[in-house]
Amino acid sequence: MIIKYLPLPLLIFLFASPLAIASAASPLLKAKRILFLGDSITYSGVHIVNLETYLTLAHPDSEREIMNLGLPSETVSGLSEPNHARGRFPRPDLAERLERVLRQTKPDLIVACYGINCGIYAPFSPENFRKYRQGIMNLRRAAARHGAPITFLTPWPYDHQKGRKKWPADYNTAVLGTYSKWLLDQRQFGWQVIDTHGGLTKALAEKRKTQPDFAFTRDGVHFNAEGDWAASQFLLNAIGAGNPQSLEEMLKPYPNGQKIHQEVTARMEKNRNEWLTKTRHQRPGTPGGPKK
């Protein structure tokens, strides 16, 4: 059965500026080995599956490998709460595994989204912000050493209405908004940046004008079905896939669309787990990590 998603007619207008779409289109379409890095939202990878499904259907003769190496809880800042995971383990730091990942995957394009965990769900801190910037710069330098251009997605937004009340009510604006603005400012230096944070934040506010309980997440952080499709639209618009309002609409022109989507879903999970195992990491409870 194909999952139907709530139509979001304003998303194409709100998601990203024409500059973001134009700048991202060519790398995503031309690359042969695309590596996605990020935290649990990347790890779940529904938006990545939908991108790969479209590319498989619309460009069946193109050879392309999309590698999802998202890791739950991960940060690019190296920060962790004192009692993260009830004290069982600190948040994994991308820097610990980055060189192994790049050496083994050999990407010719990296798509990275970090930030929502990097402020560790605390009030804005100049030191935490410095460490986030430093982590992003280190990631960019490592990508350059391996000859891989990088496209950044601004941090996924946090929804306090659905999140934990002990977390700051202004986390999305004061922390993630600041991180996003800094990333967007780097466009003037030629960085490829897609404004996922601003687009989703505006779209959520617009939806709540008429649907006060509408949400893109189930817990303030992790996407529900509407959030997964909204995230997918950033990538689909970046490659010129139009503005399908649902997965069903995206698949409709292709007789084998549903079958391909199921195959891509299964393949991504299998390949993701294999890559995480090959490259090793320090997060317990995830394929390839330590037992405890």
What is 226-245 written as a DSSP string? HHHHHHHHHHHHHTT----S
Pairs from 269-275 (Cβ < 8 Å, separation ≥ 24): 269/45, 271/67, 271/68, 272/43, 272/45, 272/67, 272/68, 272/69, 272/70, 275/67, 275/68, 275/69, 275/104, 275/105
Q: 148 Cβ partners below 8 Å, 6+ apart? A: 35, 102, 107, 108, 109, 110
Q: Is pLDDT at 162 greater than 90 in this prediction?
A: yes
179, HSE (Cβ side, Cα atoms, 13 Å): 38
For residue 101, name the pLDDT band (cuts at 50, 70, 90): very high
Residue 72 has pLDDT above 80, yes or no: yes
Average pLDDT over the chain, rounded to an integer: 91
Residue located via tokens 């031309």: 30
Residue 99 or residue 19, greater confidence = 99
User: 10-14, 47-51, 104-108 — which is least confidently predicted?
Assistant: 10-14
d(CA 115, CA 210): 29
C-alpha 196 chain-centroid distance: 9
Mean pLDDT of 236-243: 90
Tell me which residue has tokens 């700051």: 168
N residues, the chain: 292
Mean pLDDT of 145-155: 98
Task: For residues 99 and 81, give the distance between their C-alpha atoms in angstroms, rounded to a whole number.
Answer: 25
Cβ-contact 157, 230 below 8 angstroms: no
CA atoms within 13 A on the CB side of 138: 18
d(CA 77, CA 95): 9
Quickly state the pLDDT bin for 21 (edges 50, 70, 90).
Answer: very low
Residue 64 token pair: 């392309």
Mean pLDDT of 210-227: 98
pLDDT at 95: 98
What pLDDT is recorded for position 291? 79
Does 14 have pLDDT greater than 50? no
The mean per-residue pLDDT over the stretch 45-50 comes to 98
Domain boundary assignment for the chain: 11-279
pLDDT of residue 17: 40
pLDDT at 16: 40
pLDDT at 3: 36
**Alpha helices, DSSP H, located in 108-218:** 126-145, 177-185, 196-208
Q: Above pLDDT 70, what percent of the chain?
A: 91
* Helix axes 126-145 and 94-105, enclosed angle (nearest 10): 20
Burial track 227-238 (b if 16+ CB lie within 10 A, e otherwise): bbbbbbbbbbbb
CATH topology (fold) of 11-279: Rossmann fold (3.40.50)
d(CA 121, CA 111) in angstroms, rounded, equals 24
Higher pLDDT, 20 or 92: 92
